[in-house]
Structure 1
């Protein structure tokens, strides 16, 4: 496993990190989830990402129990807030930052969160109020660093322009061969200001593993067949997209990688990316994913893959 610095922080994070969206505490049984977590550590993963809203606290509670026997300085722990936790608890106000942070600390069974992230931008709260609340969280010692997920570039810049608050060190955008939007504005703005990228869905919700045959129903037990985990996949499960993904397999083979590893290596080719978050329901998936770390790939193969995917994703 290779490691990269997260933005301007002193956090060294594994190139592959383990996430818990739609999986731990929700769609994956506890014993299988724990096996995935144990395997992640065995493979050198040291960065665990979650959020309060995943399972309305269930993912954090699972991790709090599963991690309690490990030295706290042996892993980097990240969580998030913003989405509703109840009919009245949502957003990034001062009250919510304080309440949700304390609740997350209890569920995670820890005194400090290494990276506390704004899950989305809160248009109903002043940016200065949010940033002051996050700054106080750092000053209190409950949080080491702060980050954001899926903020538009103008709001990132607005936060950077505030001179009397804690600075962000991380951005968490969706990014994959099937979704390249952050390259245009978020990547360059962040890179210029010491903000590293922790990308989610680098495998396009599993589509870039190549396991979905465009001419057959999704395999039993796959994410696409799960009520809990498959609700976000409609855009990616279109036949032209699945056909294009199948055409990537020989390109990956030429690189000496599985398609899964090739797709992750494509994400990690960018210097702006500190880590790629994977979601795994089986330990063997973790092992395969980790095989992408440090992979050396001929850039012409990446260019060929981009051309194949671009043919089906190009604007009409």
Structure 2
């Protein structure tokens, strides 16, 4: 695993015309293969990223009773705390605990005739034992949303499109999901799955890591490490961009290996998605690029839908079967009980 991820410096987008042209070419190549890259020059204050990691550490250090007070199983909107082993990827439990946060909002009135994805809209759960978490995470959510949109606009330009080519499916408000995550240390004999091999279902993911390695990316040449690099985010392509580019960009498979026993790993993952009511278009990319489009991944066990809400709900139901059974049993298909799940 000697290969490393490429690095993209966002500051070059503000340079000369030649600098910007070179940046777009490098970004397009990185987003195509390996589909992951380190992002520098992003402008996110270090004080904010440190606060987010510090408060994440404080939350995960709370007594179980305080964490379980906001357990995700209480939320039909898939918001809140998940214990280690309660999320499923590729049919196996992930060894991580986490809190899922989205855009704050009121739950929509239930309508059996309405699209099922409407059930995902609703409020977050916040820990009474750590009130400082809410304002900092919502601030961070706003900052990384703007950053994600900036990267998405550059990716559109790199494909020969107007920067706003995909704006019709993410304005006025994109779908947002933020996870603060702790991977407890684990003996090798207990298995190494922090998160199993999977793809992400949005436009792109912006990942903040602490100082402990664990993220691995699958390429045509095998698995490569994506260790933490100070001052960077790791950005990767999601399924919406694969659909929109007819596979010129592809949502690549990745996983997290659990850290050794007596240690742990923190990360903060932000997933930028299209609006849940949107349908993903196929971009009319230039013939020189279209000739290298690989088509959309065909996996009968994990089909991709252009209906964004349907695709996102599929991932949520599979990844959190306890929430699905408790709140959405009417949506479950017994034939899919053992199907691979996304860890979006």
The structure with the largest helix share of the pair is 1
Fold conserved (TM > 0.5)? no
TM-score by length of 1: 0.25
The structure with the largest strand share of the pair is 2
TM-score by length of 2: 0.24
